[in-house]
Amino acid sequence: MTGDSEDPNDEVQYHVDVGEGDVANAVLLPGNPERVEKITRFWDESKEVAHHREYRTVTGEYDGTPISVTSTGIGSPSAAIAVEELARVGADTFVRVGSCGAIQPQMDVGDLVITTGGVRQEGTSDEYVREDYPAVANHEVVSALVAAAERLDYDYHTGITMSADSFYAGQGRPGFEGFEAAGSDELVENLTAANVKNIEMEASAILTLANVYGLRAGAVCSVFANRETGEFMTEGENRAAETASLAVKLLAKMDATKAEAGVETWHPGLSLE
């Protein structure tokens, strides 16, 4: 199935190449298309429904709960396209599942970071709303991710994430031939002092768009590097994948509990058992 028109009202979306009925209400959003299989290995069943450009979409079930995953590629512009087009075909809950660099010394490689809000250093969300509009994770998604990490006994941290538009200059790394952007030598130090937990490239745009559109969104990232200690290792992908998948099941329980109680918002007084 390939969308051959960029009309947002078309049945098949132009970039992600999905239509109504192809995705579940909740969609996990990794960047790397190769991470899709690392996520779906935790599911009971899965079927690829589209693969166009960097956007690979698989839909299935996790412990009886409908769930989808769509890879978004690198950066906020392509992540925003995924949110836009998936929302148009019925998705209303988004969980970024990614990797990140930690900038607090007590955080270990392999730990999880559950984002509560974002520093909008990416430019994509600026094209949607004024720059002082906050990038805030939905509290139900945060609660579900924390509960999932607790149940799986994975080490995790919660807090503010900075989302950049570049891997090198925008994250305080030297560019080609040692180029250093203005202020890059102080960037990580200043963020660390402000208790920002990690740096990645998509979360704040996803959170901002979700809030603008009245959708739910959150993010869980595996720590691949600690910029303070210099430690680097590609570990923890499976933990983030399993945590996000279980969180979708818990969100479905939250929604059922809310409906039974006749309330619109889940709170700790409502049981998830």
Question: Do residues 23 and 13 touch, judged by C-beta distance below 8 A?
Answer: no
202 is catalytic: no
Among 173, 228, 231, 235, the active-site one is: 173
Largest CA distance in the chain: 61
Among 35, 120, 227, 239, the active-site one is: 227
186 is catalytic: no
Q: CB under 8 Å to 41, separation ≥6 — which residues?
A: 241
Q: Is 215 left (phi over 0), alpha (psi -120 to 50) or beta?
A: beta
Q: Which two tokens stand for residue 151?
A: 């149940």
Burial 229-239 (b: 16+ CB within 10 A, else e): eeeeeeebbeb
227 is catalytic: yes
Start-to-end C-alpha separation, the chain: 40
127 is catalytic: no
Question: Do residues 211 and 205 touch, judged by C-beta distance below 8 A?
Answer: no
Among 15, 35, 56, 239, the active-site one is: 15
Among 35, 56, 85, 237, the active-site one is: 85
Could you list the active site residues?
15, 85, 173, 227
